[in-house]
Structure 1
C-alpha cells in the first residue's frame, strides 16, 4: 500500500517542502499509515514531521452540551477551524516552527507548545475532516483512507463500543455530513483502502 503510493506521488525533491494531508474517518488507520510513510521517507534521507489534528482539539465545555446537535459539535466545534487555518495551515509552509495548543485528555486543558518544522521534505497533517473548505487549499497532496464503518467500529475500544448511541448521534452523523457535502472521495488526490 505505502510502496504503491511512492510510485504515484512524484519523486520528492530534497530541496522542496511538501504538505501532505492524510484524511480518513475515525479508526481508518491514519496514524499507522503516516508512520509507514515516515519510515519510508527516513530510509530515503528525506526529513519529515507529522501534525496530528486530534492533538489540537478544544476543551470539553467548548464541544459538549453547547446547545447544538451532537454531530455539529463534533464536526464544527471539536477544532477551532478558522484559528487553525490562520495559525497552522497559513504558517506551516513558511517558518521553522509553529506554536500550537495541545489538548490533554486527562486534565481537559490545553498547553501551547512549539512544533519544529523541516525546511525541506514533507510535513504530514493527519486527521478527520481535513478536506473541509477552510483547510483543503493548503495541501500539495491529499490522501483519503477509505475504510468501511463496520471495520472501523470494530477497531474501537470495547468500552467505547458499548455506547453505540453516541456513535450514531455524534460521530456517524458528522461523518455522513462530511461524505455527503464535502465528498472527500472525489476531491482527494489518492484513495487508499484500509
Structure 2
C-alpha cells in the first residue's frame, strides 16, 4: 500500500532544535510544506553526510516555505550529543525528532522491525498534511538534497497550477505539460 496522497498520522515526539528540547506533533506540520527525513542512526557513516547536505541547503528549503524534520529511532538526548560533538551535524538548524518507540517511523511505514531502525526514507508533505512524494533507498545509498529540492519545487508547482504536470528532469522555469486527450501519444 502506498502512502502517496494520504494524510500523515497523529504523533507526539521529543526533538532537538536550536539548542533546546521541544515537543513536535503532526499539528506543527500543518499549514506549511514539510520534509520528513528518516535515517537509521546517529553516529554512523552515510547518515551524517545526508543530514549535512540537508543542512547546507536548509536556507533554500526555508525560502520555499519548507520545514525539515529529520527522524531516527535515537532519543532527542542522543541527537543533542551528536550535534555537540560533530562539525557536520553541528551545522543543523532544522528539527531532529527522537523516535525511540518508533511511533513516527511506523506512521510513515519506514521501520525496519527486525532492527528497530528507520529506513533511509524521505517524505514530502504538503500544507494539508498530505504526502506528495516519497523515496526509500538501500542502507548504503545516500540521498541528494539537490534532487529533493527539485522534487519539492515540482510538487509546489503542480499544487499551484492545477491541470499542469512536471515531466522528468523538470527544473523550475522549464516547460510543463497539460495532460489532455490531444496530447496522448504525442510525447
Q: What TM-score do the two structures reach when normalised by structure 1?
A: 0.29
Larger relative helix fraction: 1
Q: What TM-score do the two structures reach when normalised by structure 2?
A: 0.29
Structure with larger RCO (C-alpha < 8 A, sep 6+): 1
